[in-house]
């Protein structure tokens, strides 16, 4: 049976039940992207502007506009994710099992972050078509062709 990544709604945020999945790679092109693979789906989480990485008692502001600042993010390869929280106003928090955390706030100018679903390694549809973006100024844009759209009422 396929694992469906249905959001769990809380008062101020949604949680994606992704616990235990590992970051299998990174892309650094026009932004910073975490790649996550599961037997039933894949996810890409893109950060288009600044984001905060807290790990080992230190906080670093990472920016795709300043590529050398992204170096601390390389430590996330192979790390397991405990949970992903998507704030209803557009914030994003990713909690890792090693106590690291990524926090992103909405940008006034750009889409601050995006989550894209994809197929599994065998090419099955998985979450192909899932897209969640933080809109400029806050709020969310959500496309859920493989999920129950009522779960994401905005």
Has residue 129 been placed in a domain? yes
In degrees and rounded to multiples of 5, residue 9 shows phi and psi of: -85, 135
Does residue 14 contact residue 85 with C-beta atoms inside 8 Å?
yes
User: For residue 135, what is the DSSP state?
Assistant: P
* Domain with 38 in it: 8-152
Has residue 19 been placed in a domain? yes
Has residue 1 been placed in a domain? no
Rounded mean pLDDT, 28-46: 87
- Our count of domains for the chain comes to 1
pLDDT tens string 38-64: 777 788 999 998 999 999 899 999 998
| Model confidence band, residue 121 (pLDDT cutoffs 50, 70, 90) | low
Pairwise CA distance, residues 124 & 2, whole Å = 10
pTM above 0.75, yes or no: yes
Residue 48, classed as helix, strand or coil, is coil
Has residue 3 been placed in a domain? no
């Amino acid at each position: 049976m396929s694992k469906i990544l249905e959001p769990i709604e809380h008062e101020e945020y949604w949680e994606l039940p992704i616990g235990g999945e590992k970051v299998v790679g990174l892309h650094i092109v026009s932004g910073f992207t975490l790649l996550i693979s599961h037997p039933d789906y894949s996810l890409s989480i893109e950060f288009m502007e600044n984001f905060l990485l807290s790990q080992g008692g230190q906080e670093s502001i990472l920016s795709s506009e300043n590529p050398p600042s992204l170096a601390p993010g390389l430590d996330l390869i192979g790390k397991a994710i405990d949970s992903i929280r998507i704030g209803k106003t557009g914030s994003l928090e990713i909690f890792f099992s090693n106590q690291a955390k990524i926090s992103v706030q909405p940008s006034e100018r750009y889409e601050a972050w995006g989550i894209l679903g994809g197929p599994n390694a065998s090419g099955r549809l998985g979450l192909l078509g899932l897209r969640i973006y933080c809109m400029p100024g806050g709020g969310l844009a959500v496309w859920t062709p493989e999920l129950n759209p009522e779960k994401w009422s905005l």
